[in-house]
Each structure stands twice: as structure tokens, then as C-alpha cells.
Amino acid sequence: MSSLEIKNLHVSTGDKEIVKGVTLTINTGEIHAIMGPNGTGKSTMAKAIAGHPDYVITEGDVLIDGKSILEMESDERAREGIFLAFQYPSEIPGVSIANFMRAAIQARMGEGEEIDASGYYKRLYQKMDLLKIDRKFTSRSVNEGFSGGEKKRSEILQMAMLEPRFALMDETDSGLDIDALKVVSDGVNQLRGPNLGILLITHYQRLLGYIVPDHVHVMIDGRIVKSGDKSLALELESRGYDWVKQEFANA
Ligand code: ADP
Ligand code: MG
């Protein structure tokens, strides 16, 4: 078992503190959902953990199996097993999905190691079938002209191919219609297992009906103000976030 430990994490962008002391441990085999209103720092936290240069960690630590990753560049963090599925995936014109993914896998291999081409395509097609992605997409440029649902599926495809230990999934459900949501959820549920820990960031409880989390945390104004099990997500759905804010303010 591996663990991703987030300890008293403070993150700033510009001169503004956005994440104000989050502590959370995710073990492989677990799914943690983070819910919260827009603008509370969920994406900021995920991007800071992945090593995005715009987000500065001013205090606290992030450790994998007890080893701090803060001094690592984002590619080293990826090699340690961190994967971030973006809320707003970028388009990369001119780079096909097949080549992009191959480069990503190659980049993670040791020096002198070479990807096995036939094995690679076999695996790629298996995962694409799993995610109901048409084969013709392999030659299309990454995310270029993709619908919202296709972009999200392409993020999950990357995740399936890279086999991370810890996946940070940032609003993977946003912009999906119900069919796409089911495909994406099925994909995540297939990938779910003892060797993968997932941090699932979502605004709505809808996704959590398909991907059932082990733990649910509520983030408000840069802090986790409440944690519980999957029933907390249902309570938030019916009661909104204000009562949690009140409870936190009165505590
Ligand atoms: P959430 O994902 O919970 O909706 P975000 O982490 O995206 O929240 O944003 C939290 C706050 O940080 C917002 O006020 C947002 O405007 C601000 N913020 C996020 N990224 C940047 C950035 N690159 N530059 C300036 N402000 C940012
Ligand atoms: Mg966000």
C-alpha cells in the first residue's frame, strides 16, 4: 500500500492565499471526494500537488510514502505516480493522441528503456474499447475540436495508460451529459483497485452516485471543514453548503 499525505498545505497564487491548511491522507485503494462551492481552492490544491508552476506552496508538505515531493518538478512527481486530470483539458494541435500518450509513457521510463510499439498499441486499443472511444480518435490531435465529453474521456484514457498510483480528478464530471458521465464513471470504476488512490473533485453529488467514494470532504474557503462518508454527499445535495459553513463558523 502507498499513501499520499497532504499536511497542513497552504497554497498561494500571486500574493493571494487560496488553500489555507489542508490535511488529508489518501491511501491506494481509497477514493476520496472533495466537494465544495466554486472558488474555494479545489483546483488550486490539485494543481499545486501536481507541481503546477503558478501555484506556490508556502507552508506544509505533500509526501508519497513518507517522502516529500515538494522539491520535485511535475514530471518527477508524475514518475512518482501522481496524475492530474484537468478540469479544463488543453488542446494540443498537431499532436495525435497516439503519439502524445506514447511520448508520455516513454518520458516516464528509465534511460535506455524503449517502449514496445506493438504492446503499446494493443494496450491503447484495449483501454479505448473500455472507454468507448472510437479507434479513429488515435490519429486526431489531442482534444482539438473534442466535445466536453470526449475531452474528459481522453483524460481518463491517459490515466488508464499511465497507471498512476494517485489520480487527482478535477471535476471530471463537468460538461458531461448522462451517457458520457456513465462511460467515464465506468472507466474510473474499472481502474479503481488496490493499487490506485483517487482524489475526486466534484461540485455535484451526481458523479458520486456512479463512483462511490470511501470518504467525502467539504472544502470551503481553502479549508476542509467537514469530512464524512458517502452519506455526507447526499446531505450536501439536499441541503446545500450553507449549513456546513454555519457549523464551521460556530465551532
Ligand atoms: P475551485 O476549483 O474550488 O472552484 P479554484 O482553485 O479554481 O477554485 O480557485 C480558487 C480561487 O483562486 C479563486 O478565487 C480563483 O479566482 C483564484 N485563482 C485560481 N487560479 C488563479 C490564478 N492562476 N491566478 C489568480 N487567481 C487564481
Ligand atoms: Mg475547480
Kindly give the confidence (pLDDT) of every residue in the chain, 251 residues in length, as a single tens digit, with 9 standing for 90 and above. 999 999 999 999 988 999 999 999 999 999 999 999 999 999 999 999 999 999 999 999 999 999 999 999 998 999 999 999 987 888 999 999 999 999 888 888 878 888 888 899 999 999 998 888 888 888 899 999 888 888 888 889 999 999 999 999 998 888 788 888 888 899 899 999 999 999 999 987 889 999 999 999 999 999 999 999 999 999 998 998 899 988 888 87
Nearest CA to ligand 1 atom 13: 39
Q: Rounded to an integer, what distance in angstroms lies between the CA atom of residue 145 and that of residue 52?
A: 25
Distance 171 CA to ligand 2 centre (A): 7
Interacting residues of 196 by C-beta distance below 8 A, sequence separation 6+: 28, 29, 163, 164, 165, 166, 167
Interacting residues of 18 by C-beta distance below 8 A, sequence separation 6+: 11, 12, 41, 44, 55, 222
- Listed residue (79, 65, 84, 246) closest to 167, CA to CA: 84
Selected from 3.40.50.2300, 3.30.479.10, 3.40.50.300, 3.40.50.11060, the CATH number assigned to the domain covering 3-93+166-250 reads 3.40.50.300
User: Cβ of 112: how many Cβ atoms within 10 Å?
Assistant: 5
**Domain limits of the chain?**
3-93+166-250
Q: Which atom of ligand 1 is nearest to the CA of 46?
A: 6
Q: Which atom of ligand 1 is nearest to the CA of 37?
A: 3
Pocket test for ligand 1, best of 12, 17, 44 (most atoms within 8 A of CB): 44
Q: Which atom of ligand 1 is nearest to the CA of 201?
A: 2
Kindly state if the Cβ of 39 falls inside 6 Å of ligand 1: yes
Distance 42 CA to ligand 1 centre (A): 8
Nearest CA to ligand 1 atom 1: 39
